[in-house]
Amino acid sequence: MASIVSPHGTEVELITYPQSSATTLDPEIESQRVQADEATGGFSLPPTDGGKDAWLFLFACFMLEGLIWGFAASYGIFQEHYSSHAPFAGERNIAVVGACAMGIMYMAIVPMFALLKSYPRLRAWATPAGLVIMGLSLGLGSLSNTVTQLIISQGIMYSIGGGLAWTPILFYIEEWWVRRRGFAYGATMAGLGLSGAIMPMVLQWLLARYGFRTTLRVCALSFVVLNFPILFFFKPRLPLSQTTQTRGFDMSFWTCTTFLVQQSVVVLQGLGYFLPAIYLPTYALSLGASGLQSTVTIVLLNFAAFLGSLTMGTAVDKWDVTNCLAISAMGSTLAVFLLWGFATNLAVLYVFCVMYGAFAGCNSSSWSAVMRDTKAKRERADLGMIFAFLSAGKGVANLCSGPLSEVLLHAGNWKAGMAYGGGYGALIVFTGTTALLSTWGLAAKRIGWM
């Protein structure tokens, strides 16, 4: 029991309810909390799962996701430009820049989450500070003359800033969205898809007209102009005084087979997932496409991922996540082997982009259900830390995919027809195989490991 002074000057007792070690609130406890506040004359909290504030917050998450991750996901456009223009033409390890930008950012969420969980007062400053670091990284990238400098600025520095700016979403989304959490995560992840469908066209035009230095400076300025206004809506639902501060983390989910299986699925899927986005523009050029036509591959891939993320986020709120992920993996597998493998013209390649984007691009939108199922077996586990390690698993896969892709492309031409014999055969087979292997969660479920 705690005493507070009401607006009328009288002292009243406010009933407080215990919170779990995670930021997440149980729906029933949350309902009781709001009712108690209203009954005692205290200040009631805005509603969860709806209402103006919840929707504006979700819009802010959507925008942050789109601008932070959408730029990194569009690196294929930069790679195409760097590979054919001075001062980077002919240099090796250009693909490593994009792998660092995405891979390290996925992995950075673990230490960032630990920091912000231990020091809640830093959460309000994390996103603005991260956006400033991202802007500086792109500004420094525009001064680069070697691939190493690009890796440090546009790759590593950008990923650290992006991870810091994005991580507060994990704390706030658990406060604003309770019963429809899968939908909320799906809508947030969809921001990457929509941004990834628009940004490549803009980047292609800027690079062709002004070169990479001006393009990176325009992007740095855009992060300030587009991101900072939405920070007015990006705020916690709970007062800081009700936020628990802890220096320890319950890592018992690492002994839960449900988490371990799903973590392995994330890594397997991630090993091949990023390769099409990196090499589709270059492959389209090999089919005789123009610069604009090659960019369309990324646009279609990401727009389909936007739709897929919304669908997956809604689906895992209703159906078993293992079945949803298996459908996603099988759709991806068929798209790679039957469409990309036989794509000798742009029409078939475009169909592949749509199918692969829809089925493969929605994987992260299922993580809210993985968190839910894991916490059902490990009640003290921290939901945000579960998400952070799933993200780190995808980051490890992303970092590995960069060097792997270089090896696969130098595997030589296969004595096969269609796309399999055009220098991309090893890349296509590897992507399809990793997608197929990621269906093993179904087998684990039937064995009884989940």
Rounded to whole angstroms, the Cα distance separating 334 from 340 reads 9
The pTM of this model reads 0.81
**CATH 1.20.1250.20 residue ranges in the chain?**
54-447
Contacts of 412 (CB under 8 A, 6+ apart): none
- Phi/psi region, residue 42 (left: phi>0; alpha: psi -120 to 50; beta: rest), is beta
Do residues 272 and 401 make contact, with C-beta atoms less than 8 angstroms apart?
yes
Question: Tokens in use for 235?
Answer: 């705020």
Cα–Cα distance, 119 to 309 (Å, whole number): 31
Residue in 127, 449, 394, 444 with CA at minimum distance from that of residue 256: 449
The residues, ordered by sequence, that sit 6+ positions from 160 with a Cβ below 8 Å of its Cβ are: 104, 105, 108, 133
For residues 69-84, one letter each, b for 16 or more C-beta atoms within 10 angstroms of the residue's C-beta and e for the rest, the string is: bbbbbbbbbbbbbbee
Give pLDDT tens digits along the chain (450 positions): 444 444 444 443 443 433 333 344 444 444 444 444 434 344 578 888 888 899 999 999 999 999 899 888 888 788 888 888 889 888 888 878 888 888 889 999 999 999 998 888 899 999 999 999 999 999 999 999 999 999 999 999 999 999 999 999 998 998 888 888 888 888 898 888 888 888 888 898 999 899 999 999 999 998 888 888 888 999 988 877 655 555 567 788 999 999 999 999 999 999 888 888 878 888 888 888 887 888 888 889 989 999 998 899 889 888 899 999 999 999 999 999 999 988 888 999 999 999 999 999 888 889 989 999 998 898 888 888 999 999 999 989 888 877 787 788 777 666 666 777 777 888 888 999 999 999 988 888 888 877
Q: Which CATH number fits the domain 54-447, given the four candidates 1.10.3210.10, 3.40.50.150, 1.20.1250.20, 3.20.20.60? A: 1.20.1250.20
Separation of alpha carbons 397 and 263, rounded Å: 11
Phi, psi (rounded to 5 degrees) for 193: -65, -45
Give the Cα separation of 183 and 223 in Å (integer).
26
Q: Where are the alpha helices (DSSP H) in 89-180?
A: 94-118, 123-141, 147-150, 158-166, 168-176
Sorted by sequence, the CB contacts under 8 Å of residue 406 that are 6+ apart come out as 92, 93, 95
